[in-house]
Amino acid sequence: MLLKGRRDRRVGVREGTAAVSWPKLDYLSWRDTCSALHLYLQIVGKYRLARTPWINHSWHATFYVTPRGLTTSMIPDGPGGIEIVFDLIDHAVVGDASDGRSEGFDLVPTTVSAFHSRFLDLVRALGGTPKIHGRPSELPDPVPFAEDRASRPYDADAVSRFHQALVRIDRVLKRFRTGFVGKASPVHLFWGALDLAVTRFSGRRAPLHPGGFPSTPDEVTREAYSHEVSSAGFWPGAGLDYPAFYSYAYPEPAGFKTARVEPAEAFYADALGEFVLRYDAVREASDPDAQLMSFLESTYRAAAELGGWDRAALECPIGTPLRPRPL
């Protein structure tokens, strides 16, 4: 499987000053490409899920943002380890094995069935185990990957903007994560709902979750929500028709939905049971990082205060480079 030659690496970051501006994301204009990319990520994510020992809250199955796209990190398979990368600058899926083998193919208009077949061929060529669960998760009425032969577009420019947004959001979520010494998740992308997220934990057990997520075993959902959480993240648009940040608490404490949070553009969406802040409210702010941080901090504070978390024991100042935590 041959890849196209390397493109100009400046492609996709021409809007404003790449180091500081946040790209425009018009979900409706790239909805079909986003849906296709979501399914491709599910296929690769299910490969990581199948080969990696379970970690609490399904943290073993996620992707991580990189300067070039999204990575599985090393998966224990084949000759020792295999990494799968979605290169969203050169628009390719690349697999590298620990014995030096490398395989890949371009991200282009295609079908889910064709992507599924090419990816399993890639894993096989790397010496891995080309066996995954064959249906999408967290989607209603899922079509098995091998049977989904509908033509799917691939808008490379829109995908590049999505990646550049993830890079900026990842930076803020990671900074937010440093202000907590209790149990906290990595900043990672869940392929089930296609959201980049970070979660803080009170340390207490939560009531049994009712489950009921589409195409997801209840035992997976209940293990994910086994302990009290305040979780925040970003969706590119599915379910809302616009890109947005979210924040929720489980279990939701009394008074949470009416709590005063920042910025003023944030609101509680009853249908979702979560606070929502449109991506554009952050992108268009004079200081997007600070705008997003105010949403993360204020919604967490509402969850922690109303939920009776031991904030004095769990929180700490935001971290800075080369400065250890004070004892």
pLDDT digits (tens, 9 = 90+) for 30-69: 999 999 999 999 999 999 999 999 999 999 999 999 999 9
Residue pair 197/185 in contact by the 8 Å Cβ criterion: yes
Beta-bridge partners for 135: none
What's phi and psi for 315, nearest 5 deg? -105, 160
14 in any annotated domain: no
Same domain as 193, residue 66: no
Q: How many domains does the chain have?
A: 2
Q: What local confidence, expressed as pLDDT, does residue 20 receive?
A: 63
- Domain termination site, one of 154, 188, 220: 154
Residue pair 129/123 in contact by the 8 Å Cβ criterion: yes
5 in any annotated domain: no
Same domain as 292, residue 175: yes
4 in any annotated domain: no
Same domain as 280, residue 238: yes
| 57 or 3, greater pLDDT | 57
Q: What local confidence, expressed as pLDDT, does residue 3 receive?
A: 58
d(CA 232, CA 303): 11
pLDDT digits (tens, 9 = 90+) for 278-299: 999 999 999 999 999 999 999 9
Same domain as 197, residue 91: no
Q: What local confidence, expressed as pLDDT, does residue 222 receive?
A: 97
266 pLDDT higher than 90: yes
- Domain termination site, one of 135, 154, 173: 154
6 pLDDT higher than 50: no
- Domain termination site, one of 115, 137, 154: 154
12 pLDDT higher than 70: no
- Which range marks the domain in which residue 188 is found? 157-314
261 in any annotated domain: yes
Same domain as 142, residue 163: no
Same domain as 139, residue 72: yes
178 in any annotated domain: yes
Same domain as 56, residue 177: no
Same domain as 307, residue 164: yes
Q: What local confidence, expressed as pLDDT, does residue 327 receive?
A: 77
